[in-house]
Amino acid sequence: MNTSRDRSYTKVLLADEFENREANAQEGYARWAAYYDLERNPLIAVEDPLVDTILHDLDVDTALDVAAGTGRLALKLARMGLQVTAIDRSSEMLSVARDRAYRQGLDVTLHSGSFEEGLPFEPGAFDLATCALALCHVPDLYGAVRELARVVRGGGYVLITDFHPEGVAIGWRTTVTCPDARYLLPNMPHTREDYVAAVRQAGCVPIDVRDVPVREVPVGCFVHYDEIVAEYGDVGLCLLILAQKSEE
């Protein structure tokens, strides 16, 4: 499944017109950084308006965006007037985020780091922790969600969006297409139940869980849109979970 209209940039695909090369997430996102914001990503197309609605209703002042990439969500939070910290392990992605924040006149504190190393923040330091479209690459889902919850105060929120496990289960991959090859990134076999259980085990209560199917992707985000929706319309594409941390 090619999710780009002109095939220059690709996210999730099953076609075989490119040479396939396996790449770890860090290598893949390093290659992706220069053009990540140039494409129309179906996952983002369905996720972004839902996130806007959810964030509008939250009473928060400070936020941490983990696996922030090029700053898509971190900059959104900063535009809302929040005090925002963002962290990512990809220096290439962070460089783009830094440039975007500067050009938009937004104050976002950037850090290099990952779940595997432990987030370098005190417990309860933030009102909100977000992680968008990244946990599908993380082997230790439960540990990652614990870290998200750890840095949130009691009564605060954790917001997770991700590539839906249903899509991963039928063989869709997070994919970066470059002029020389198509790079396939690792997608972990997490289940929907794993995500919800991880949130609960981290001491949070899910208050909004949404399964967004392929048919909700706007027209134009796929090559051969009608055929894809006819065949895969009911398959989950995006999973969104908003949870509230129990009061301590």
pLDDT in tens, 147-203: 999 999 999 999 999 999 999 999 999 988 777 788 899 999 999 999 999 999 999
- Place 223 in a pLDDT band, splitting at 50, 70 and 90: confident
- pLDDT band per the 50, 70, 90 thresholds, residue 11: very low
Q: CB under 8 Å to 109, separation ≥6 — which residues? A: 84, 85, 86
Q: What is the pLDDT of residue 15?
A: 44
- Half-sphere exposure at residue 146, Cβ-oriented, CA atoms within 13 angstroms: 7
72-119: pLDDT as tens digits: 999 999 999 999 999 999 999 999 999 999 999 999 999 999 998 899
Give all domains of the chain, ordered by start, each with its CATH number. Answer: 42-164+198-245 (3.40.50.150)
Enclosing H/E stretch for 77: helix 72-79
* Tokens describing residue 57: 């209703």
- Whole-model pTM above 0.75? yes
- Write the DSSP symbol of residue 60: -
- Residues 127/156, Cβ–Cβ less than 8 Å: yes
Q: Which residues of 89-113 are buried (b: 16+ CB within 10 A; e: fewer)?
A: bbebbbebbeebbeeeebebebbee
